[in-house]
Amino acid sequence: MKVLVVGNGGREDAICKKISESSKCTELFCSKGNAGTLRYAKNIVLNSNEEIFEFSKNNNIDLVVVGPEAPLCEGIVDLFSESNIKVFGANKKSARLEGSKNFAKEFMKKYDVPTAKYETIKSKEEGIKAIESFSYPIVIKADGLCAGKGVRICNSKEEVLEYFTELFEDKIFGQEGTTVVIEEFLKGKEASLLCFVSKGNLIPMESARDYKRIFDNDEGENTGGVGCYSPSELFNDELKLKIEKTLEKISEGLKKEKLDYSGILFIGFMIDEEPKVLEFNVRFGDPETEVVLPRMKSDLLLAIEKSLDGTLKKEDLKWKSEKCLTVILTSRGYPKNYEKGKEIIGIDSVDEDIYVYHNNTKVNGSKILTDGGRVLSVTGFGNTYDEIREKVYKNIEKIIFETKQYRKDIGKN
Ligand code: AMP
Ligand code: GLY
């Protein structure tokens, strides 16, 4: 089977590694990939869905696996629908579960999926009225993808009004930010659950916990995620049962609304007394993928094929009992401004039981250079998080680049 993976982050590095381990994979490409994906795939630069389609036709690709949300929201799956090339991912209609916060909330409300109370507004005036029925902190979410930066948690009316001005008057996210979801603030602990979607049926993978803030003790700005571990310690039998009920409701909704795609649904939960859904993504999470896929014993390509046929079952997915933890090395300054192009040394000197996924790196001659905010995911396995933490942090010392920065508290407590 000839496979093309779309994307260039740590998630795609982990997907490529896992697919390359399948006996069914005969040739693997990654667009555009990074210095890590080169270990098991041929990197190729394709700049649009149309270029991906042309390349796939001309190179007899059998399967395209899409990493990031943008190509899905832009309709890559629909573009391939008339061809006999399979694409694993949500079609344009289903991708609205991620691409529109309002669409996702309406879906949850309709199918009784536990979530935060909300109201949707389309102007500053409507917003000023709506916030009267919420208390503080209050969560304000611009509707569209907004490069993942549309959510703001406000502690006062002044902060809300300031954000409304940015959204409706300054139009910082253009049209994407002129529909806005106002949400009740939920207390609790977050957990991520990636699920295969097999024609609308949901088959969960193992849970994970992502660290979103840039600094230790969850201080500083929100990022794409700078550390992660799997499984989440919150997922005991009681919680799993509750989540199973939520998954049934989501699955019923997917089928009734004809959002019955084959791909991934990433569910962000806030867990307090009851698990509530914070968000949907229609793709693998990053860095969740870097800790969930290494724990998967089953063949990923086989799971993807079954999911595309609509026959994937929970029993098809087998998991290792060991835990997995990753710490992301970032470029100093991320998530704001940072420098790129710094030489990285020491990746090959890590211990045998440590794996380094590449988030944003590139090759320059014989050198590997930093190429983005998140650079490398240093990943380890073990029976306890304390044991893995010790190994991972010891190995982080061996990897050197000028702008290296990382959290010291991943997996603590
Ligand atoms: P989202 O993109 O909707 O997941 O929001 C990004 C982050 O904002 C989440 O991972 C949470 O940390 C936080 N967040 C979003 N919605 C809420 C909420 N209703 N209550 C508390 N925190 C939230
Ligand atoms: N780790 C969160 C995300 O992938 O959106």
Residues with beta carbon inside 6 Å of ligand 2?
210, 225, 281, 285-286, 288
**Is residue 413's pLDDT more than 80?**
no
Instruction: Express each pLDDT in 67-107 by its tens digit.
Output: 999 999 999 999 999 999 999 999 999 999 999 999 999 99
Q: Does the beta carbon of 183 lie inside 6 Å of ligand 1? A: yes
For atom 5 of ligand 2, the residue with the nearest CA is 285
- The confidence score (pLDDT) of residue 148 equals 84
Work out the pLDDT band at 149, boundaries 50, 70, 90: confident
Atom of ligand 2 nearest to the CA of 228: 1
CB within 8 A of 178, min separation 6: which ones?
A: 122, 143, 167, 168, 171
Query: Roughly how many angstroms between the first and final C-alpha of the chain, as a whole number?
Result: 43
Please tell me the predicted confidence (pLDDT) of residue 411: 96
Distance CA 114, CA 86 (A): 33
Residue 249 has pLDDT above 80, yes or no: yes
Average pLDDT over residues 176-193: 96
Q: How confident is the model at residue 10 (pLDDT cuts 50, 70, 90)?
A: very high
* Centroid of ligand 2 to alpha carbon of 223 (angstroms): 9
Q: What is the pLDDT of residues 282-308, one digit of tens each?
A: 999 999 999 999 999 999 999 999 999
Cβ(114) – ligand 1 distance below 6 Å: no
In whole numbers, what is the pLDDT of the chain averaged over residues?
97
pTM of the model: 0.97
**pLDDT over 80 at 408, yes or no:** yes
Burial of 261 (0-12, 13-18, 19+ CB in 10 A): buried
> pLDDT above 90 covers what percent of the chain?
97
- At 183, list the tokens: 């949400």
Q: What does the pLDDT look like over 354-380, one tens digit per residue?
A: 999 999 999 999 999 999 999 999 999
Q: Is there an atom of ligand 1 within 6 Å of 139 CB?
A: yes
- Both tokens of residue 216? 């230790």
Phi, psi dihedrals of residue 386, rounded to the nearest 5°: -60, -45
Q: Which of 214, 288, 357 to mutate to test the pocket of ligand 2 (most atoms within 8 A of CB)?
A: 288
Cβ partners under 8 Å of residue 225, min gap 6? 210, 211, 212, 285, 286, 287, 288, 328, 374
The rounded Å distance from CA 324 to ligand 2 centre is 17
Instruction: Provide the pLDDT for residue 106.
Output: 98
Query: What tokens appear for 90 in the block?
Result: 């949500």
The pLDDT of residue 103 is 98
Mean pLDDT of 179-195: 97
Q: State which ligand 2 atom lies nearest to the alpha carbon of 268.
A: 2
Task: Tell me how far apart the alpha carbons of residues 315 and 15 are, in angstroms, rounded to a whole number.
Answer: 21
The span from the CA of 304 to the CA of 316, in Å, is 11
Q: Determine which helix (DSSP H) or strand (DSSP E) holds 166, and give its type and residue range.
A: none
Among 211, 213, 278, which residue has the most ligand 1 atoms within 8 Å of its CB, making it the best to mutate? 278
Tens of pLDDT, residues 100-109: 999 999 999 9
Least confident of 145-154, 220-229, 251-260: 145-154
Surface-to-core class of residue 111, CB atoms within 10 Å of its CB (0-12 exposed, 13-18 middle, 19+ buried)? middle
What is the mean predicted confidence (pLDDT) over 212-217?
96
Cβ neighbour number for residue 60 with a 10 Å cutoff: 9
User: In this structure, how many other beta carbons lie within 10 angstroms of the beta carbon of residue 408?
Assistant: 13
> What number is the average pLDDT over the span 262-268?
98
